[in-house]
Amino acid sequence: MARIDELRLITRVARLYHEQGLKQPEIAARLRLSQPKVSRLLRQALDEGIVRITVRVPTGTHPDLEERLQQRFGLEDAVVVDVTPDGDELVARELGTAAAFYLESTVRSGDVIGISSWSATLLAMVDSLDPVPTVRDTKVVQILGGVGDPAAAGHATHLIRRLAQLLHGEGEFLPAPGVVGSAEARGVLLEDPFVRKAMALFDQVSVALVGIGTVQPSGLLARSGNVFSPDELASVRALGGVGDICLRFVAATGEPLRTSFDDRVIGIELEQLKRVPRSVGVAGGRRKVAAIRAALDGGWLNCLITDRDTAERLVRDGVAADVAETDDAVGAEA
């Protein structure tokens, strides 16, 4: 076949496929070609520049920034939400909506979904979630103790029960505080059969959804009573702590802080979280940048859903500046 004849055939196949919407078997039948040959000619159309595929990025989406996050931190996935950082409540609501869509799109039948309590963002996610009719036989496991001040404890119960209902599964509650007064008290609670049942599922979690906190507790966490004392938090800062994941504190480098506080937390451990196939952090806002960066640098999470301003700060250098900004933001809120 002469070169011009080959180009003519490639072009004809490309027009039938891309402009007229014919499927490959239909093109093969019309032109009396084999389907493998049609497929090869379509690939040649791309190689020859006869067909050029462009992706128009809609306003409000940030695929380049998402890819930079994935490359910078070795993430499997990243979602960047276009929201103006006008306060924690707005950021939490918008991130919750994005996380709901992410979960609806990615959850599978049989998934064991771990979710931490006391996160306003995850509560917003559950409130935004639509029923997912295509999944069955899921488990929703509470991976951080949810017992606390009765005025706030309903958040944890609602979060687990509602998520299990929407995913056509069953909920496994962790009927214990997130933080107890002593290691001895924790040891007693770990003997409870219902606590043991929930914690036995931690190593089976296939999808974990967690918030990321600063050393200064969020309003919801503070109201729950699952907090450490001001003196204890001051000692965390003195050790270089910048935030927590499920009440496990980390330094700016992502290294876990080994303190006696760990012996008072009832919830998933960082090493267990790291082994989860899909561990999704849902967090944003300027005051959390250093904590989120630490969670990612430590490799404790492999997916992130955050806002654009936070994402831009994460991909730039300047850990010290981010820690200083976080301290300023916390001081302004105090």
pLDDT tens readout for residues 247-291? 999 999 999 998 888 899 999 999 999 999 999 999 999 999 999
Identify whether 114 is part of a domain.
yes
pLDDT, greater one: 26 or 58: 26
Q: Are strands 207-210 and 169-172 parallel, antiparallel or unpaired?
A: unpaired
24 pLDDT above the threshold of 90: yes
Q: What average pLDDT does this structure show over 226-230?
A: 79
* Average pLDDT score over the chain: 88
Which pLDDT value is given to residue 56?
Answer: 81
285-323 pLDDT tens trace: 999 999 999 999 999 999 999 999 999 999 986 554 455
12 and 90 co-located in one domain: no
122 pLDDT above the threshold of 70: yes
* pLDDT confidence band for 331 (50 / 70 / 90): very low
Which pLDDT value is given to residue 267?
Answer: 95
Tell me the residue range of the domain where 10 lies.
3-47
39 and 179 co-located in one domain: no
137 and 283 co-located in one domain: yes
100 and 32 co-located in one domain: no
CA–CA separation, 177 and 156 (whole Å): 11
Structural domains counted in the chain:
2
Q: What average pLDDT does this structure show over 201-220?
A: 91
Which pLDDT value is given to residue 328?
Answer: 52
Closest CA to 241 of 295, 280, 204, 198: 295
* pLDDT confidence band for 2 (50 / 70 / 90): low
Which pLDDT value is given to residue 229?
Answer: 85
**Start-to-end CA span in the chain (Å):** 78
16 and 96 co-located in one domain: no
pLDDT, greater one: 154 or 279: 279
Which pLDDT value is given to residue 277?
Answer: 96
Identify whether 54 is part of a domain.
no
Instruction: Report the share of the chain in percent with pLDDT over 90.
Output: 69
For residue 251, give the CATH number of its domain. Answer: 3.40.50.1360
Which pLDDT value is given to residue 238?
Answer: 94
333 pLDDT above the threshold of 60: no
Which pLDDT value is given to residue 150?
Answer: 58
Identify whether 53 is part of a domain.
no
* pLDDT confidence band for 154 (50 / 70 / 90): low
191 and 43 co-located in one domain: no
Which pLDDT value is given to residue 152?
Answer: 58
155-178 pLDDT tens trace: 778 889 999 999 999 999 999 988
41 and 90 co-located in one domain: no
Q: What average pLDDT does this structure show over 69-83?
A: 94
102 and 244 co-located in one domain: yes
Length of the chain in terms of residues written: 334
Which pLDDT value is given to residue 332?
Answer: 39
Closest CA to 166 of 226, 101, 239: 101
13 and 82 co-located in one domain: no
* pLDDT confidence band for 334 (50 / 70 / 90): very low
Identify whether 58 is part of a domain.
no
Which pLDDT value is given to residue 107?
Answer: 95
Q: What average pLDDT does this structure show over 204-229?
A: 84
- The secondary structure of the chain, three-state, reads CCHHHHHHHHHHHHHHHHCCCCCHHHHHHHHCCCHHHHHHHHHHHHHCCCCCCCCCCCCCCCHHHHHHHHHHHCCCEEEEECCCCCCHHHHHHHHHHHHHHHHHHHCCCCCEEEECCCCHHHHHHHHHCCCCCCCCCEEEEECECCECCHHHHHHHHHHHHHHHHHCCEEEECCCCECECCCHHHHHHHCCCHHHHHHHCCHHHCCEEEECCEECCCCHHHHHHCCCCCHHHHHHHHHCCEEEEECCEEEECCCCECCCHHHHHECECCHHHHHCCCEEEEECCCHHHHHHHHHHHHCCCCCEEEEEHHHHHHHHCCCHHHHHHHHHHHHHHHC
* Residue written as token pair 């729950």: 224
